[in-house]
Amino acid sequence: MRPAGRLAVITGASSGIGAAVADRLAGEGCPLILVGRDRARLDAVAARTGGRPVTADLSEPAGIDAVCDVADGRAALLVHGAGVGAAGPLADIPAATVGELTAVNLLAPVQLTRALLPTLRAEHGHVVFVASIAAIGVANEAVYSATKAGLRGFADALRVEADIGVTTVLPGAVDTPYFERRGRGYHRRFPRPVTAERVAAALVDAVRHNRAEVFVPRWLAVGARVHGLAPATFTRLSRRLDRGSGG
């Protein structure tokens, strides 16, 4: 799909990767619907991109409805950028956090895609899921990994059954407020964080070329291949990396 000039709905548009995607698509002349909760940050992105801000909590059905009210019948591109993280051993993750991660990272993209599918079909549109390399399973991020693996599976199924473009973006660490918000910084020596702008560029390029999956940086795809071909080796290597990461 050529994104230029098409109406794009971006969740998570008030910060990080979603805001960078908004900037890039605005540069392509796309009218934008910008979804987030923080009105001030959303307004700042709207001011520089000309997008329409929509304040919505995507963990609530009312939030999904609010987005559909403005996007239904018009959206050609749907970018699911909203997401939250949680780090630490599973036993230390509060039950409410499990609910929040599942609601925002997995249920909201599924519900929103389901609701907007007739529109996306009519527009010969495209949907993008911002997952994570954690979809292949990262220690001390079990719940987050589960939501992102679920998202990846959902995208894989949709790509086959629905006649729209479907892309999954799997970034490694990205330099955004994400880590501060989840309450635990990024301490690994490698992979080094990339910029949100780099992820946004890869995402828009993937839409343009109808790519099924894109890893950012690209070499992270090697980890996914080892995971798929030799799960026991993947587990051994992950344990070693985790011990050496200091966090």
Ligand X SMILES: NC(=O)c1ccc[n+]([C@@H]2O[C@H](COP(=O)([O-])OP(=O)(O)OC[C@H]3O[C@@H](n4cnc5c(N)ncnc54)[C@H](OP(=O)(O)O)[C@@H]3O)[C@@H](O)[C@H]2O)c1
Looking at the annotation, which residues are catalytic?
Answer: 144
Smallest distance, ligand X to C-beta of residue 35, A:
6
**Would strands 126-130 and 213-216 be described as parallel, antiparallel, or unpaired?**
unpaired
Residue whose CB is less far from ligand X, 82 or 214: 82
Smallest distance, ligand X to C-beta of residue 124, A:
26
Residue whose CB is less far from ligand X, 28 or 43: 43
Q: Which stretch binds ligand X (CB under 6 A): 24-32, 65-73, 78-86, 159-167?
A: 78-86
| Cα–Cα dist 170/181, whole Å | 20
Q: Which x/- pattern over 182-221 shows residues binding ligand X (rule: CB under 6 A)?
A: ----------------------------------------
**Which residues, including other chains, have CB under 8 Å from residue 110's CB and lie 6 or more apart?**
154
Please report the DSSP string for 155-210 in residue order. Answer: HHHHHHHSSSEEEEEEES-BSSTHHHHHT-----SSSPPBPHHHHHHHHHHHHHTT
Query: Quick one: which of 8, 104, 128, 155 contacts ligand X (CB under 6 A)?
Result: 104
Q: Which stretch binds ligand X (CB under 6 A): 77-85, 117-125, 202-210, 218-226?
A: 77-85
Judged by CB under 6 A, does residue 61 bind ligand X?
no
SS3 assignment, position 80? strand
Residues in the chain: 247
Query: Quick one: which of 33, 49, 51, 59 contacts ligand X (CB under 6 A)?
Result: 59
Contact 120, 171 (CB under 8 A): no
User: Omega of the bond prior to 53 within 30 degrees of 0, cis?
Assistant: no
Q: Is 211 exposed, middle or buried (0-12, 13-18, 19+ CB in 10 A)?
A: middle
Residue whose CB is less far from ligand X, 30 or 86: 86
| Cα–Cα dist 224/205, whole Å | 21
SS3 assignment, position 233? helix
Q: Which x/- pattern over 5-24 shows residues binding ligand X (rule: CB under 6 A)?
A: -------x-xxxxx------
Judged by CB under 6 A, does residue 174 bind ligand X?
yes
| Cα–Cα dist 78/65, whole Å | 15
Contact 21, 81 (CB under 8 A): yes
Judged by CB under 6 A, does residue 181 bind ligand X?
yes
Judged by CB under 6 A, does residue 67 bind ligand X?
no
Q: Which x/- pattern over 126-165 shows residues binding ligand X (rule: CB under 6 A)?
A: ----x-x---------------------------------
Judged by CB under 6 A, does residue 37 bind ligand X?
yes
Where on the chain is the footprint of ligand X (CB under 6 A)?
A: 12, 14-18, 36-38, 41, 57-59, 63, 81-85, 104, 130, 132, 171, 173-174, 176-178, 181
